[in-house]
Structure 1
C-alpha cells in the first residue's frame, strides 16, 4: 500500500475527522468512559480490557493473554499484578503443566466487571439518548471498523500482533467497550 492516503477524499473532511478522533481520545481518557453513578464504577482501560478478555475467552496463561490482546507479556504481567492483589484475577496452576501459571477471572472480578459494564452501558445510553437505534448501530459499526483499521495498521508496521480491535455483537460493542480500544500513547 504505497498509495498516498492523504490525497484520498476531502482534505477538509479528513482534517475534521482527525480532530474529532483526537478530541474523542482525550475525552475518553479523561473520563475513562467510566460510566455513570458512583466513582467506584470507574476502571482503567487496561484493567477493563484484561478482565473483559478473561471473561470472554476463559482462563489462560500470560503469553496467550498477551498475544490475544496484541501486547507483550511483560505489559500483561505488570497490568495484571494489581488485579491479582485486589482479588479480581486468580493465579492458578495449569491443569496439565503444574509449573505454568494460568490467569482466571475470580468471582469478585466477574462481579466487578459486570458492575462496570452496567455503568458503562448507562453512560452510552445517556450519551446517545436522542439517537435513533439505527444511528447507534451505524456508529458502533463504523467505530468497530475504525478500530480494526487502526489495529491492522499497527500490526503491519511491525509492532507485534494486532491489538484487540472492535468487539463483536453481544460482547459490549454497543455499550462502549469498543471505545476502550483507543491506543495508548
Structure 2
C-alpha cells in the first residue's frame, strides 16, 4: 500500500511540470521577468539589500551563478549595487524602482492566473491550501537550513 507521501510526490512532480501555467524560455507566459530574476527580486524585496555571499547562502547557489543572475538583473535595470548600508565591506544589491514595478506586475499576473485556476474554490479552501503550502515549504527550509523570510 502506498503511503500518502507517494501521492504528494506525484502531485508535486505535476506541479513542477506545469511550470506555473505555460512557462516559455524561462519566463511565465505574458511575463516580463525571467524566473530567476523573479525569485531574486522577491528575496531582496523581503530581506532588503543583499551581497553575493548572502544570496549564495540564501539560495544555496555558487557565487558564479549569482554573479550571472545579478549582472543580468543589473543590465535590465532591476537591481543596483550599493555600499553596504550597515557599513560592511561587501557591496549589496538593492531593487530599483523599475525592479519594484516589474516585481509587482509579475506578482499581479501570477495572482491573476491563480485566481483563474481557483475560481471555483471556496475562500476557506484557498486559505487552507496556502497554509499547507507554507507549512510544506517551511519544513523543506528547516531541513535545508535555509529559511525564507516571509512578509
TM-score by length of 1: 0.68
Query: Aligned pair in 2 of structure 1 residues 94, 150: CA closer, same or farther (>3 Å)?
Result: closer
Count residues in correspondence: 147
| Structure 1 residues 59-70: aligned runs within 5 Å | 59-70=49-60
| Structure 1 residues 33-112: aligned runs within 5 Å | 34=28, 39=30, 41-95=31-85, 96-97=87-88, 100-112=90-102
Query: Aligned pair in 2 of structure 1 residues 13, 47: CA closer, same or farther (>3 Å)?
Result: same
Query: Aligned pair in 2 of structure 1 residues 57, 15: CA closer, same or farther (>3 Å)?
Result: closer
Instruction: Give the C-alpha shift of residue 27 in structure 1.
Output: 0.7
Query: Aligned pair in 2 of structure 1 residues 87, 28: CA closer, same or farther (>3 Å)?
Result: same
Query: Aligned pair in 2 of structure 1 residues 131, 91: CA closer, same or farther (>3 Å)?
Result: same
Instruction: Give the C-alpha shift of residue 12 in structure 1.
Output: 5.7
TM-score by length of 2: 0.82
Partner residue, 2:146: 162
Partner residue, 1:118: 108
